[in-house]
Chains A and B, each alone.
Chain A
Amino acid sequence: MTNDPNKTGHNPVPEVGTKPSAKPAPKRFAMSFVAPVGAFIALAIVGQLLEASTNQYVQLVLLFMCANIIFATSLNLVNGFTGQFSIGHAGFMALGAYTSAYLSTAVVQNPSFFDFIWFAIAGGLVAAAAGYVVGLPSLRLRGDYLAIVTLGFGEIIRVILLNTPAIGGARGLFGIPRPKEVVLGDFVFTNFYMNYLLAIFWVILTLVVLWRMVHSVHGRKFLSVREDEIAAQSMGINTTQVKVRVFVISSFFAGIAGAVFAHAAQGLTPATFGFTKSVDAIIMVVLGGMGSLTGSVMAAAVVTLLPEFVLRPLTDITGIDLRMVLYSLALILFMILRPSGILGTRELPDLWRKNGK
């Protein structure tokens, strides 16, 4: 195993930025609830600050960032932790996005805040079902073959969406609602804030579920499949079953990412979910480190924020639009200087621990 020996198998700290606890075992269980809830409250407060201090454009980009975090971490489960190479992840995102968007526009009139959670779950389930259908036959293949099958699947989804008039076909689906603003006395929660709450809810839920999973006995199975399939099989692990499970779970969260994306963008066209969207996800996974959830979070943040907040102002100053050139160049340089990604296979809390020692 290439894992960091410092990494403990049952790390109870699922959140980015929270300090690891040295608390005895009984408190660990409580910790596993306290940390995510604490993170949610902290991010909710940050959201109020963002609401007050930034404009609509920054807020929109932040919502895209949340969708990308879920998208990248879900792909990391397949590509990073289980060592399979899927390059059609955008297809699952598209299913989640369109399902959720369709439910909120055509099926339910005036959806409430909690309806949006069900829409996202429905999107995730449709994506997961598709993941099962694709995964079952194709995950018996390895390496390049799986890559090509997933690529083909991604394209099939896109073409089906393109030819379905009920969801707008090539012209796209527009007018997707956001959660409405909530007024409590003098205090107004704007519709960005409600959308932001939903987005961070899904980000935290995704991270908690994936973190708990990869640090459980199932996670060890994923890693064993990645490291050596034959050895894993000889130890009695049903590798196809493990891979299909991983694929279905990953697809579910890609669907959730799609739902978050759809309600942030408020408009979808099949063109959004082309091959380049899948490549975006792979970039985020590789950049963050294959097999590092917190790495994917950081990479998703970098990949979303860099072109918007660093390269666009740079274009303003220099007067020439080299945005996509510089972005590509930054990726190339990063991969040459740090081929294992931002964090490699480590997680963010591992770094704090090492510094503390």
Chain B
Amino acid sequence: MIRSFFSRATLAGLVLIASFGCTRNHDQEILIGHLGAMTGSEATFGLNTQKGIQMAVEEWNAKGGIKGKKISVKSLDNQGKPEEAAATASRLINQDHVLAIIGDNTSSRALAAGPIAQQNKIPLISSTATAPKLTEVGNYIFRICFIDPFQGQVMAKFSRETLKLKRVAIFRDLKSDFSVGIADIFKAKFKEMGGEIAADAGYQGGDIDFKAQLTQIKAAKPDGLFIPGFYTEVGLIARQARGLGLNIPLLGTDSWDSTKLSEIGGASINGSYFSNHYTVESTDPMVQEFVAKYKAKYNSVPDGVAVMGYDAANILFSAIERTQDLKPDQIRDELAKTKDFKAVTGKITIDEKRNAVKPAVVVKVDGTSNRYVTTVSP
């Protein structure tokens, strides 16, 4: 038994050694890496991003690829673990010699993979990681989504210009740096646009009773209430606000985006507005075309992750197309020059901090579905 085990181990060892020797032919194709969680509790993130990327790849290859070379994507599963994200990024770069990497969707895993891409000078584009810290890792790290504070500006602009609100109260989650950051940005922007902040109150994530603060807010007579919090508390706040007779529009951020919101908030939350990355209801023909193509190919409605994967791939491919001889440092330079790129989620410009400047959509809560209201450009 032992002897046969060792013979098997030797065999496994040979396979291992053989696997080191495997290299792909890079002259005929352009190899792009994708890393994401494809197993585990966040598996839809990685899988749907992959679907989006795959669609983009097929479209480009149907057009003849980039400079006559076919594009091929290598997707590696990181099981939703940051250490695996680091290992897979390292593998894509050192073993598969990819030209650029798309991924990971979440900030924590992108932060684990980022330093490795930076060290090896391979551009890494995250499609949906919003933590501002990510692109500070280095000049090879990009993202094509807006960063957290941007939503504060979007909602300030929306409430001032579209809803024509004059006095808005802020109700922030003091436990969340995301919420506090957005509230500060909203406050500054709203004042700058000639609005007035009626009240600025706070709660702790996990609270259940908000009546004391809401009574105080009501006394200040605002005509709108901005709550950059998470859907559980927001649902409860909506119920209690209506109970106190505070019938003003409620405004929020993408942290509201959950089917749980209307479950908790019931009818009270209907008619509230929040900002988001994208909505299938958008009237933009590009969105409608994408949704139709995606449905035909995968027989499901694309979620935000899928469409962002598609956009990330398109931005990357057009940057590669603009390079002289397909070198990672040239791709980096071209990515940084991305300006007014027509993506499904809106016109995207990469700023000097390698974050995307792009419009956000504002949706109106209507039961479990969210109705498209408008698109707010930065």
Chain B residues with CB under 8 A of A174:
108, 111-112, 115, 133
Selected interface stretch from A25-33, A106-114, A152-160, A309-317: A309-317
Q: Is B22 an interface residue (CB 8 A)?
A: yes
A-B contact count (CB 8 A): 96
Nearest CB of A to B121, in Å: 13
CB distance from B331 to the nearest CB of A (A): 20
Residue B90 at the A interface, CB < 8 A? yes
Give the docked Cα–Cα distance between A342 and B86 (Å): 30
Residues of B within 8 A of A170 (CB): 108
Whether B90 pairs with A271 at a CB distance below 8 angstroms is no
B83 within 8 A of A: yes
Q: Is B94's beta carbon under 8 Å from chain A?
A: yes
A56 contact set on B, CB distance < 8 A: 90, 93-94, 116, 120
Picked from B79, B82, B94, B95, the residue with its CB within 8 Å of the CB of A265 is B82
Please measure, in the bound complex, the distance between the C-alpha atom of A61 and the C-alpha atom of B83, giving whole angstroms. Answer: 10
Contact between B81 and A305, CB atoms less than 8 A apart: no
Q: Is B62 an interface residue (CB 8 A)?
A: no
Q: Determine if B339 is an interface residue (Cβ-Cβ < 8 Å).
A: no
Cβ of A323 < 8 Å from any Cβ of B? Answer: yes
Query: Is B82 in contact with A321, judged by CB distance below 8 angstroms?
Result: no
* Cα distance, A261 to B112, chains bound together (Å): 13
In Å, the complex CA distance between A224 and B249 comes to: 71
Q: Which of A140-199 contact B (CB under 8 A)?
A: 165, 170-172, 174-175
Q: Scan residues 321-349 of chain A and give those whose CB is less than 8 A from a CB of chain B.
A: 321, 323-324, 338, 342
* Pair A271/B81 contact, Cβ less than 8 Å: yes
**Choice from B19, B75, B83, B94 contacting A309 with Cβ under 8 Å:** B19
Q: Which residues of A contact B296 (CB under 8 A)?
A: none
Minimal beta-carbon separation of A320 from chain B (angstroms): 11
Q: Tell me the complex Cα distance, A265–B108, Å.
A: 13
A:47-61 near B, CB below 8 Å: 54-58, 60-61
Which residues of A have CB within 8 Å of B201?
none
When distances are taken between beta carbons in the complex, the residues of chain A under 8 Å from B212 are none
Q: Min CB distance, B134 to chain A, in Å?
A: 10
Task: Say yes or no: B77 contacts A321, CB within 8 Å.
Answer: yes
Residue of B nearest to A262 (CB): B83
* A57 and B90 within 8 A (CB): yes
- Contact partner of A64 among B77, B83, B108, B177, CB < 8 A? B83
Which residue of chain A is the closest to B83 with respect to CB atoms? Answer: A265
Q: Please state if B83 and A272 are interface contacts (CB–CB under 8 Å).
A: yes
A227 at the interface (CB under 8 A from B): no
Hey, which chain A residues are within 8 Å of B81, CB to CB? Answer: 271-272
Apart from A171-B131, A269-B82: 6 A-B pairs, beta carbons within 8 A: A57-B87, A58-B94, A170-B108, A305-B16, A310-B16, A324-B79
> Can you name 16 A-B pairs with beta carbons within 8 Å?
A55-B90, A57-B94, A64-B83, A171-B108, A171-B131, A264-B83, A266-B86, A266-B112, A267-B82, A267-B83, A267-B86, A272-B83, A309-B19, A312-B76, A313-B18, A313-B19
Residues of A within 8 A of B (CB): 54-58, 60-61, 64, 165, 170-172, 174-175, 261, 264-269, 271-272, 305-306, 308-310, 312-313, 316, 321, 323-324, 338, 342, 351
